[in-house]
Structure 1
Amino acid sequence: MPTHRRAALVTLAAAVLALGTPGLATPAPAVGATASSDVYVSPTGDDHADGTARHPVRTLDRARDLVRARVAHLRADLTVHLAPGTYRRTGPLVLDARDSGGNGHKVIWQGAGDGTLVSGGRRVTGWQRVPGRAGLWSAPAPRGLRDTRQLYVDGVRAQRARGAVPVTLTQTGTGYTASSDTIAHWKHPADAEFVYTSGEALWNVERNGLGQWTEPRCRVAAAEGTTITMTQPCWDNSNKRVEFPDIPGRTVSMVGPGRLTNGGKPSYVENAYELLDQPGEWYLDRSAHRVYYLPRRGEHLAGADVEAAAAEELVEGRGTADAPVHDIAFRGIEFGYATWLTPSTPEGFSEIQAGYTITGEEGWATQGLCQYVAGGTCPFASWTKMTGNVTFAYGRRIEFADDVFAHLGASGLELGAGSTDSTVNGSVFTDISGNGVEIGGVDGQTPASGVQVTDNHLYGLPREYHGGVAILNGYTEHDTIAHNQIDHVGYSAVSMGWGGWPDKIGDPATPNPSHDNAVRNNLIFDYMQMLDDGGGVYTQGLTGTSMTDGEKVTGNVVHGQWGLGKSVYTDNGCTYETVEGNVLYNASYANVASRHTDYRDALGNNDPTLVKDNWWEEGTADGDNKGLVTTGNTIMTGLSDVPSDVVENAGLEPAYRDLLDRRIGAPSVPEAPSRVGTATAGADALWVTFNPAFVDNGSPVTGYTARAYDATGRQVGEQSVSAAEFERTALVRLGVSAGPVTVTVTAGNAHGESAPSLASAPLAPTAATTLSAAPTAPRLRTAATAATLAWTPPTDTGDARVTGYRVTVSDGRTPIDVTGRDVLVTQPSAKGMFRVIGGLEPGTAYTVTVAAVTAAGVGPAATVTATTRSTAQQGRAVGQPNR
Structure 2
Amino acid sequence: MTRHTTTLAATLLLGAALLGPGTAAVAQPGRQDVYVAPGGSDSAPGTAAHPIRTVARAQQLARDRAPHLTTDLTIHLAPGVFRLDKPLTLDARDSGTGGHRIIWQGSGRTVLSGGRQVTGWRPVPGHAGLFAAPEPAGMDNTRQLYIDGVREQRAQGQLPVKLTATDTGYTASADTLAHWHDPSDIELVYTAGEALWNVQRNGLGQWTEPRCPIASATGTTITMAQPCWDNSTRRVEFPDIPGRTVNMVGPGDLTNGRQPSFVDNARELLDTPGEWYLDRSARTIYYLPRAHEDLRHADVEVPALEKLVDGRGTATAPIQDVAFRGIQFSYATWLTPSSPEGFSEIQAGYTNTGVGAYATQGLCGFVTGGTCPYASWTKEPGNVSVSQSRRVEFSDDVFTHLGAAGLDLGDGAQDATVRANVFTDISGNGVEVGGVDQPQGGEMTSGVQVTDNHLYGLPREFHGGVPIVNGYTQHDTIAHNEIDHVAYSAISVGWGGWPDKIMQPATPNVSHDNVIADNAIHDYMLALDDGGGIYTQGITGTSLTDGEKVTGNVIHGQWGLGKAVYTDNGNTYETISGNVLYGAAYFDVGTPHVDYRDALGNNDPTLIQGNYWEQGDRDGTNKGVITTGNHLLSTPAAAPASIVSAAGIEPTYRWVLQRPVDGRSAPDAPSRVGTFAVAGKLYVTWNPTVAENGSPVTAYVLTTTDGTHRVTTTVPAADFLRTGYATVPGLTDGRAYTVTVAARNALGAGFASLPSAPVTVGAPADSLAAAPTGAKALPAVDAVSLHWTPPKNTGATPVLAYRITVSDGRTITAVGRDALVSQPTAKGMTRVIDGLTPGTAYTFTIAAVTGNGAGAPVSVTAKTTG
Q: Secondary structure at 1:741's aligned position in 2?
A: strand
- Between 1:354-363 and 1:735-744, the stretch displaced more is 735-744
Q: Secondary structure at 1:621's aligned position in 2?
A: coil
- Of 50, 53, 56 in structure 1, the residue corresponding to residue 51 of structure 2 is 56
- Cα displacement (A) at 1:43: 1.3
Deviations 1:797-848 (A, max 9, x none): 01111100100100112x1011100011101011000100001111100000
- Between 1:667-676 and 1:293-302, the stretch displaced more is 293-302
- Cα displacement (A) at 1:134: 2.2
Contact 1:199–1:211 (CA under 8 A) maintained in structure 2? no
Could you tell me which residue of structure 1 aligns to residue 696 of structure 2?
700
Contact 2:582–2:636 (CA under 8 A) maintained in structure 1? no
- Of 661, 684, 690 in structure 1, the residue corresponding to residue 686 of structure 2 is 690
- Between 1:694-703 and 1:523-532, the stretch displaced more is 694-703
- 2:417 is aligned with 1:423: yes
Could you tell me which residue of structure 2 aligns to residue 257 of structure 1?
251
Contact 1:5–1:332 (CA under 8 A) maintained in structure 2? no
Could you tell me which residue of structure 1 aligns to residue 605 of structure 2?
608
- Could you tell me which amino acid in structure 2 is paired with residue 535 of structure 1? G
Q: Secondary structure at 1:372's aligned position in 2?
A: coil
Deviations 1:339-363 (A, max 9, x none): 0000000000000000000000110
Matches within 5 A, 1:405-484: 405-445=399-439, 446-484=443-481
- 2:505 is aligned with 1:508: yes
- Of 134, 139, 148 in structure 2, the residue corresponding to residue 140 of structure 1 is 134
- Could you tell me which amino acid in structure 2 is paired with residue 217 of structure 1? R
TM-score (norm: length of structure 1): 0.94
The RMSD of aligned alpha carbons is 1.5
- Between 1:550-559 and 1:616-625, the stretch displaced more is 616-625
Contact 2:24–2:395 (CA under 8 A) maintained in structure 1? no
- Could you tell me which amino acid in structure 1 is paired with residue 54 of structure 2? T
**CA distance, structure 2, for counterparts of residue 227 and residue 582 of structure 1:** 54
**CA distance, structure 2, for counterparts of residue 626 and residue 461 of structure 1:** 39
Matches within 5 A, 1:399-798: 399-445=393-439, 446-680=443-677, 682-710=678-706, 713-735=707-729, 736-738=731-733, 739-768=735-764, 769-798=766-795
Matches within 5 A, 1:182-331: 182-331=176-325
Deviations 1:749-798 (A, max 9, x none): 11111121001111112213211111111101100101011100001001
- Could you tell me which amino acid in structure 1 is paired with residue 645 of structure 2? E
- Could you tell me which amino acid in structure 1 is paired with residue 61 of structure 2? L
- 2:34 is aligned with 1:39: yes
- Of 140, 148, 170 in structure 2, the residue corresponding to residue 154 of structure 1 is 148
Deviations 1:696-730 (A, max 9, x none): 111111100111122xx334322211000000011
**CA distance, structure 2, for counterparts of residue 805 and residue 245 of structure 1:** 40
Could you tell me which residue of structure 2 aligns to residue 856 of structure 1?
852
- Cα displacement (A) at 1:297: 3.3
- Between 1:541-550 and 1:202-211, the stretch displaced more is 202-211
Seen in structure 2, the aligned counterparts of structure 1 residues 45 and 581 have a Cα distance that, compared at 3 Å, is same
- Could you tell me which amino acid in structure 1 is paired with residue 37 of structure 2? S
Contact 1:683–1:767 (CA under 8 A) maintained in structure 2? yes
- 2:840 is aligned with 1:844: yes
**CA distance, structure 1, for counterparts of residue 97 and residue 496 of structure 2:** 37
- Could you tell me which amino acid in structure 2 is paired with residue 361 of structure 1? V
**CA distance, structure 1, for counterparts of residue 845 and residue 714 of structure 2:** 33
- 2:73 is aligned with 1:78: yes
Seen in structure 2, the aligned counterparts of structure 1 residues 447 and 4 have a Cα distance that, compared at 3 Å, is farther
Contact 1:679–1:688 (CA under 8 A) maintained in structure 2? yes
- 2:865 is aligned with 1:865: no
Could you tell me which residue of structure 2 aligns to residue 105 of structure 1?
100
Contact 1:9–1:112 (CA under 8 A) maintained in structure 2? no
- Between 1:566-575 and 1:641-650, the stretch displaced more is 641-650
Q: Secondary structure at 1:755's aligned position in 2?
A: strand
**CA distance, structure 2, for counterparts of residue 683 and residue 11 of structure 1:** 66
Seen in structure 2, the aligned counterparts of structure 1 residues 7 and 359 have a Cα distance that, compared at 3 Å, is closer
- Could you tell me which amino acid in structure 1 is paired with residue 204 of structure 2? L
**CA distance, structure 1, for counterparts of residue 853 and residue 22 of structure 2:** 64
Could you tell me which residue of structure 2 aligns to residue 873 of structure 1?
none
**CA distance, structure 1, for counterparts of residue 17 and residue 208 of structure 2:** 38
Could you tell me which residue of structure 1 aligns to residue 91 of structure 2?
96
- 2:358 is aligned with 1:361: no
- Could you tell me which amino acid in structure 2 is paired with residue 832 of structure 1? G
Contact 1:594–1:609 (CA under 8 A) maintained in structure 2? no
Could you tell me which residue of structure 2 aligns to residue 20 of structure 1?
none
- Could you tell me which amino acid in structure 1 is paired with residue 664 of structure 2? P
Seen in structure 2, the aligned counterparts of structure 1 residues 642 and 47 have a Cα distance that, compared at 3 Å, is same
Could you tell me which residue of structure 2 aligns to residue 32 of structure 1?
none
Q: Secondary structure at 1:525's aligned position in 2?
A: strand
Contact 2:151–2:663 (CA under 8 A) maintained in structure 1? no
- Cα displacement (A) at 1:262: 4.6
Q: Secondary structure at 1:329's aligned position in 2?
A: strand
Contact 2:416–2:447 (CA under 8 A) maintained in structure 1? yes
- Between 1:49-58 and 1:618-627, the stretch displaced more is 49-58
- Cα displacement (A) at 1:406: 0.2
- Cα displacement (A) at 1:264: 4.3
Would you say how many aligned residue pairs link Structure 1 and Structure 2? Answer: 845
Runs (4+) of structure 1 exceeding 6 A deviation are 1-4, 7-10
Contact 2:424–2:455 (CA under 8 A) maintained in structure 1? yes
Q: Secondary structure at 2:400's aligned position in 1?
A: strand
Could you tell me which residue of structure 2 aligns to residue 21 of structure 1?
none
Identical residues among aligned pairs (%)? 63
Q: Which runs of 5+ in 1 are unaligned?
A: 16-34, 871-883
- Could you tell me which amino acid in structure 2 is paired with residue 534 of structure 1? G
Deviations 1:20-43 (A, max 9, x none): xxxxxxxxxxxxxxx951011111
**CA distance, structure 2, for counterparts of residue 195 and residue 816 of structure 1:** 41
- Cα displacement (A) at 1:200: 3.1
- Cα displacement (A) at 1:246: 4.4
TM-score (norm: length of structure 2): 0.96
Q: Which runs of 5+ in 2 are unaligned?
A: 1-15
- Cα displacement (A) at 1:7: 8.9
- Cα displacement (A) at 1:866: 1.0
Seen in structure 2, the aligned counterparts of structure 1 residues 125 and 715 have a Cα distance that, compared at 3 Å, is farther
Q: Secondary structure at 2:736's aligned position in 1?
A: coil
Contact 1:789–1:837 (CA under 8 A) maintained in structure 2? yes
- Could you tell me which amino acid in structure 2 is paired with residue 398 of structure 1? V
Q: Secondary structure at 1:558's aligned position in 2?
A: strand
Deviations 1:412-463 (A, max 9, x none): 0000000100000000000000000000012222331000000000000000
Could you tell me which residue of structure 1 aligns to residue 161 of structure 2?
167
**CA distance, structure 2, for counterparts of residue 443 and residue 859 of structure 1:** 51
Contact 1:198–1:210 (CA under 8 A) maintained in structure 2? yes
- Cα displacement (A) at 1:9: 9.4
- Cα displacement (A) at 1:3: 11
Deviations 1:223-259 (A, max 9, x none): 0111110000000000000123444433122100111
Contact 1:8–1:112 (CA under 8 A) maintained in structure 2? no
Could you tell me which residue of structure 2 aligns to residue 874 of structure 1?
none
Seen in structure 2, the aligned counterparts of structure 1 residues 629 and 586 have a Cα distance that, compared at 3 Å, is same
Contact 1:338–1:407 (CA under 8 A) maintained in structure 2? yes
- Could you tell me which amino acid in structure 1 is paired with residue 648 of structure 2? G
- Could you tell me which amino acid in structure 2 is paired with residue 649 of structure 1? A
Seen in structure 2, the aligned counterparts of structure 1 residues 123 and 3 have a Cα distance that, compared at 3 Å, is closer
Could you tell me which residue of structure 1 aligns to residue 12 of structure 2?
none
- Could you tell me which amino acid in structure 2 is paired with residue 70 of structure 1? R
- Cα displacement (A) at 1:65: 0.9
- Cα displacement (A) at 1:404: 0.2
- Cα displacement (A) at 1:371: 1.3
- Cα displacement (A) at 1:282: 0.6
Q: Secondary structure at 1:370's aligned position in 2?
A: coil
**CA distance, structure 1, for counterparts of residue 775 and residue 718 of structure 2:** 30
Q: Secondary structure at 2:499's aligned position in 1?
A: helix
- Could you tell me which amino acid in structure 2 is paired with residue 822 of structure 1? D
**CA distance, structure 2, for counterparts of residue 297 and residue 447 of structure 1:** 53
